[in-house]
Amino acid sequence: MPNPILPLWEYIPDGEPRVFGDRVYLYGSHDRPACDGFCDFKLKVWSAPLDDLNHWQCHGDSFRTVDGERPSDVPWTDRELFAPDVVCKAGKYYLYAYIVASKGAVGVSERPEGPFRLLGPYEYDCPVGDEGTFNDAGVLVDDDGRVYVYYGFTESHMNEIDPASMRRILPGSYRRSVIADGASVPEEQRFYEASSPRKIGDTYYLIYSPCRGSRLAYATSDSPRGPYVYRGWIVDNGVDYPGGNNHGSICRIGEQWYVFYHRMTNNTIMSRRACVERIQILPDGTIPPVEMTSLGFEKALNPYALIPAEIACVLKGGCFVTERGIFERTVGNITDGCVIGYKYFDFGEDYTGDGIRVCLKVRGLGTKCRVRVLLDGYEGGQEAGIVDVGLSDGVYTAKLAPITGVHSLFLKAEHGVTGWTERYFAGKPLFELEALTFVK
């Protein structure tokens, strides 16, 4: 399954991946297309078999703050649900839900997919942070059975939870700052939100969003109580793409580690969709940064399949993915100089020496233009050919030189107008891209 990893109509940001049994579960917020706000009043759960990451199943709404097909699960608020986490303890699954401007909620289920029934708000008569909202709570059940919750918005907090109740905060456990969050800390390191704890070997990791919010950063410690020391960043959703906040975590599936994160659509910082990239954890505990790709769980994209334009991992110059309906999304606002990119296609071997044809399915906008097809870079890459695009909806094609092996692919739009009228075409949308493929 390429990025985004869920069906393209689904918007699950803030993903917390958890492996329970023979499946990986994705717990996250639920965004709405073309919405002017983050998240929703319900949470949804998706999962996939560990040995078949191309087939994700939706388990429906797992928890709600407003009445719907089921009544609300929370009596004290009707605000939006953000960024949950789920952990397993003694055969039960515990949901930790952040609710905007409200007391945080804890739920429980006998099944990892839920639905979760309310246990109640966090219980405490001792110091906690966030005035009890427990913003973006991430929970760690340690090997010795002790339970820790990490949370905060611009301030990094931690408390220990009583494992007998899974919601009572233990007196004397409060700590701040778990990750450096002071004004003197560089923005690429300074804690902002999105705490997600993991333990790998004997090392404790906190994945989080720093003040450079398009990144996911990580810090490590030899104790669950910290302090956690910044080690670097993992992925940045604002590199050659319309970025926004970022929130996610890391997960080992089989022998491969992944970082789960999200990307924006609809030319907003909302309507975010779940993506993954392969990562490495080196012997010294560091995680080298990775680029955004279109791959998801795939090792390479098939250029001979029908490729939705919206799986682009590079959108430069103002173009963006926009939704017209559940079956229809395009890359729009394509103006002169815009770049749409995909990483990576495997064209395979071909010993004939014959060329290959690229086919672009477009929505015409009444303007003649051209699209340069570039391999391995949108600046300085090899030009494989040029597609002339006409006024109307249709499929426009061009014969390219032979292409074999693995390449990134970039489509660069140009209006092609020169002379005194050129300025009238600056900023003019040229077409919308629906899909592409390659044929021989």
Of residues 14, 16, 155, 160, which has the active-site annotation?
14
Of residues 193, 236, 323, 336, which has the active-site annotation?
193
Q: What is the pLDDT along the chain (440 residues), one digit of tens a residue?
A: 899 999 999 999 999 999 999 999 999 999 988 788 899 999 999 999 999 999 999 999 999 999 999 999 999 999 999 999 999 999 999 999 999 999 999 999 999 999 999 999 999 999 999 999 999 999 999 999 999 999 999 999 999 999 999 999 999 999 999 999 999 999 999 999 999 999 999 999 999 999 999 999 999 999 999 999 999 999 999 999 999 999 999 999 999 999 999 999 999 888 999 999 999 999 999 999 999 999 999 999 999 999 999 999 999 999 999 999 999 999 999 999 999 999 999 999 999 989 999 999 999 999 999 999 999 999 999 999 999 999 999 999 999 999 999 999 999 999 988 888 888 888 999 999 999 999 99
Q: Cα separation of 428 and 208, whole Å? A: 39
> Among this protein's residues, is 349 annotated catalytic?
no
Q: Cα separation of 108 and 110, whole Å? A: 7
| Beta sheet of 81-89, edge-to-edge order | 81-89, 92-99, 105-109, 117-121
Q: 16-279 architecture in CATH?
A: 5 Propeller (2.115)
pLDDT attached to residue 418: 85
> Among this protein's residues, is 40 annotated catalytic?
no
Give the start-to-end residue ranges of the domains of the chain: 16-279, 307-439
CATH fold label, 307-439: Jelly Rolls (2.60.120)
pLDDT attached to residue 382: 96
Q: Cα separation of 87 and 398, whole Å? A: 52
pLDDT attached to residue 419: 85
Find the radius of gyration of the CA atoms of the chain.
Answer: 23
